Chain A
Amino acid sequence: RKEVEQDPGPFNVPEGATVAFNCTYSNSASQSFFWYRQDCRKEPKLLMSVYSSGNEDGRFTAQLNRASQYISLLIRDSKLSDSATYLCVVNPLGGATNKLIFGTGTLLAVQP
């Protein structure tokens, strides 16, 4: 089983649509979870951390289910500028000194 697994997409959605991405991770002891965004040939940029209670940042909502080892990201009212690859990222041990493990990413294309 892959350490972090995502549906690669692409997800083609019209502007204004709601879209959800899912991710599973294999290490049940993993401590910290993130969604990063990566534009084509650019660096990953932190979109949001994912907390056990779930968290929201504007149009973006992240959820974590530790029992199922499942992370989700919901984007409401999609904008053209949301088109990017969304990376599910896990820090297995937590803490600042530890490596991040990336999924392969889910490609989102928002159409006008």
Chain B
Amino acid sequence: EPEVTQTPSHQVTQMGQEVILRCVPISNHLYFYWYRQILGQKVEFLVSFYNNEISEKSEIFDDQFSVERPDGSNFTLKIRSTKLEDSAMYFCASSGRLETQYFGPGTRLLVL
């Protein structure tokens, strides 16, 4: 069964450093998303991406965040200068023509 994959599974970084989280969506999907979940809290939408551009972003997705689809398979989330409050689980998701979104296993980011 096709699945969304994410790397790394865990990342520890120092405050102010840049991090890049990587995702490989399901191969024939066209719509891509990033969500985050702070420990003990709900899953929150960050950004959606379609046809090589952002289709929607949340208030959380400020200038420190960017997304890119550098090739035909990868979808990345970059945080330019990490803050302590960026510590969370980051989930990538993808969907095809139907709206069901399938989630990857997540990257647990810890900012020290």
Contacts and interface: CB of A to CB of B under 8 A. Distances in A.
Asked if A and B are interacting partners, one says yes
Given A97-B31, A97-B50, A102 B42 contact: yes
Interface in A83-112: 87, 91, 94-105
Interface stretch (A11-19, A44-52, A71-79): A44-52
Interface string A33-61: 01000100111111001000000000000
A105 B56 contact: no
Given A46-B101, A96-B96, 11 more contacts: A32-B99, A38-B43, A43-B91, A49-B100, A87-B43, A96-B31, A100-B35, A100-B101, A101-B45, A102-B43, A105-B42
Interface of A: 32, 34, 38, 41-46, 49, 87, 91, 94-105
Interface of B: 30-31, 33, 35, 41-45, 48, 50, 55-56, 58, 89, 91, 95-106, 108
Contacts of B45: 99-101
A49 B30 CA distance: 20
A44 B44 CA distance: 12
B99 A94 contact: yes
Contacts of A97: 31, 48, 50, 55-56
B103 A96 contact: no
Contacts of A96: 30-31, 95-99
B56 A43 contact: no
B99 A103 contact: no
B39 to A, nearest CB: 9
